Structure 1
């Protein structure tokens, strides 16, 4: 295992650790409003701390819910409430699940292409052999991670 592989494994552990908190979901009202309410802080009080008008607070909270809030505004609001803002991109399962799914997709495409050519020459593989070949190729792709691994071609 080379240095590049060791570094990638370290990144994978970091992401998988963060993703292992299934209860980390955005509350229905959004984080800003939920934390503000948990603190017992009014919109006027938060507005004063942020140096904005009172009307800006519901706009900011709505922007969070709609996905239009900027990272900078979320950071500022969190700090104004004495909190820290954390931004994450996490896999649904594990990083290895995402890699395996991509390898499976690429392997199926490769086997499908080869199978088409073989069928034209009357050398088609059985379904069992095709499945086994997809698994073999997918395992190789995961192990080798070629430079075109994430391309859909």
Structure 2
């Protein structure tokens, strides 16, 4: 867990202030020396472990060993910030806008209102022509991969003109 993530969890009250290892150890009435003995390490190693958890630099394997010693199950969870299809659609539009005419790219960059019909048309065209495997190949320049499209026209009522 990165430092930013660790701070966010603490900010929203999802992580005990001293970290989970210390909180569970203390709730069990176990000293750092007791935990060290169960882990087969010296007490200073437990101090370091608890400190690394608080700072967000603890390794998953270290957490797994601590969980076992505390008779706990370790659950590592990744939660998407948005629905996965929404993330794919947003990336697909990014790739698509990088390859179509300047007007469409400006519409997306300037966050202009794009009708739901036009958005659906763009997504459908992009979905037909950009495979999922081509969505994430952004190079070191930060630019979306180049994709060639067949010449298609904007819907009569929705496109720039």
Q: If the TM-score is normalised by the length of the shorter chain, which range does it land in?
A: 0.5 to 0.7
Per-residue deviation, residues 32-73 of structure 1 (Å, max 9, x unmatched)? 122222222221111110011111112101112223222211
Change (3 A) 1:53 1:110: same
Q: CA RMSD in A?
A: 3.2
Tell me what 1:138 maps to: 123
Q: Bigger CA drift: 75-84 or 95-104?
A: 95-104
**1:99·1:142 contact (CA, 8 Å) conserved in 2?**
no
Alignment of 1:15-94 (within 5 A): 25-94=14-83
**Aligned with 1:64: secondary structure?**
helix
Cα distance in 1 for partners of 2:98, 2:64 equals 43
1:149 aligns with 2:135: yes
Deviation at 1:88, TM superposition (A): 2.4
User: Any stretches of 5+ residues in structure 2 without a counterpart?
Assistant: 1-11, 105-111, 138-143, 146-161
User: Any stretches of 5+ residues in structure 1 without a counterpart?
Assistant: 1-22, 118-126
Deviation at 1:76, TM superposition (A): 0.4
Greater share of residues in helix: 1
Number of corresponding residues = 120
**1:36·1:81 contact (CA, 8 Å) conserved in 2?**
yes
1:100 aligns with 2:86: no
Q: Higher RCO, 1 or 2 (CA under 8 Å, sep at least 6)? A: 1
Consecutive aligned runs of 4 or more in structure 1 exceeding 4 Å deviation: 127-135, 139-145
**Aligned with 1:83: secondary structure?**
coil
TM-score (norm 2): 0.59
